[in-house]
Chains A and B, each alone.
Chain A
Amino acid sequence: DTEVTQTPKHLVMGMTNKKSLKCEQHMGHRAMYWYKQKAKKPPELMFVYSYEKLSINESVPSRFSPECPNSSLLNLHLHALQPEDSALYLCASSQEEGVIHNEQFFGPGTRLTVL
C-alpha cells in the first residue's frame, strides 16, 4: 500500500480562523513533507520531518505551524492566513530523508481558500 491520505479535501477559511490540515501514511516511512502548490506552478517545499523531528523549514511564515505527533501523522496548523496563502497543500512521505532510494509518495492534497 503506497497511500498517503489527507483531510480535508477542501477548506475555506477566513483570515482570523484557526484550522488544521492532516496527513497520514501507514507505509512505515520516517520522512514526511509539506508542499505548497499554486496554480500552474510546481510544488514548493515547506517543511520536512525526519524521524518525527523537524528537519527543514524553508523560511515559512509562522502563521503555518507543522506538527508530527507520531511517525504516521503530520499536521499543518493554520492561523491568521492571508488570501495569497490560498493554494493546494500537498503532503508526501518517503522511507528516509536524503537517501539514494528516497522515493516520495504524495497525498491527493487539500485545496485551501482564504477569504
Chain B
Amino acid sequence: KQEVTQIPAALSVPEGENLVLNCSFTDSAIYNLQWFRQDPGKGLTSLLLIQSSQREQTSGRLNASLDKSSGRSTLYIAASQPGDSATYLCAPGGYGQNFVFGPGTRLSVLP
C-alpha cells in the first residue's frame, strides 16, 4: 500500500524567499504525481501534474521534479509571496490505485 510523507510539516518564511517542499512515497510504481494547494476550508487547486516519464514540470514560479526510482518529488517555489500561504499536498497516482495524498506542508509567507 502506498504511503506518502511530506517534509516539513509546517514552514514559516519571510516574503521573497525561495522554498523547497519535499514529498516521499514508498511505492515507486506510479504513473504520475500531482501537487495541489489548499486554502483553509476550501477545495484543492491543482498546481502541477508530472507524468512518470517526465523529470520536471514548471508553471510560473513553481517547479516540480520527480525521481520515481528513489520515491521523491520536490516542489520549488521561487520568490515566495504572502498569497502563497496555504497547505501544499502531493499525491502520487499508481497503477491499479488512485491518488494517495500526503499529509501536507502548511506554508506561511510573512509580509
Chain B count of residues within 8 A CB distance of the other chain = 25
A111 touching B99 by the CB < 8 A rule? no
B residues in contact with A33, CB < 8 Å: 98
B residues in contact with A98, CB < 8 Å: 31, 93, 95-96, 98
A99 contacts B by Cβ under 8 Å: yes
A90 touching B43 by the CB < 8 A rule? yes
A88 touching B41 by the CB < 8 A rule? yes
- Cβ 8 A contact of A103, one of B49, B96, B98: B49
B residues in contact with A4, CB < 8 Å: 43
A82 contacts B by Cβ under 8 Å: no
Interface string of A63-80 (1 = CB under 8 A from B): 000000000000000000
CB distance from A54 to the nearest CB of B (A): 13
B45 contacts A by Cβ under 8 Å: yes
CB distance from A31 to the nearest CB of B (A): 9
A24 contacts B by Cβ under 8 Å: no
A96-115: which residues lie under 8 A (CB-CB) from chain B? 97-109, 111
Interface string of B68-111 (1 = CB under 8 A from A): 00000000000000000000010101011011011110000000
- Cβ 8 A contact of B49, one of A45, A101, A108: A101
Residue of chain B at shortest CB distance from A42: B101
B residues in contact with A48, CB < 8 Å: 98
A45 touching B99 by the CB < 8 A rule? yes
Nearest 4 interchain pairs by C-beta: A42-B101, A106-B44, A108-B43, A106-B43
Interface, chain A (partner B; CB < 8 A): 2, 4, 6, 33, 41-45, 48, 56, 88, 90, 92, 97-109, 111
Interface, chain B (partner A; CB < 8 A): 31-32, 34, 36, 41-46, 49, 51-53, 89, 91, 93, 95-96, 98-99, 101-104
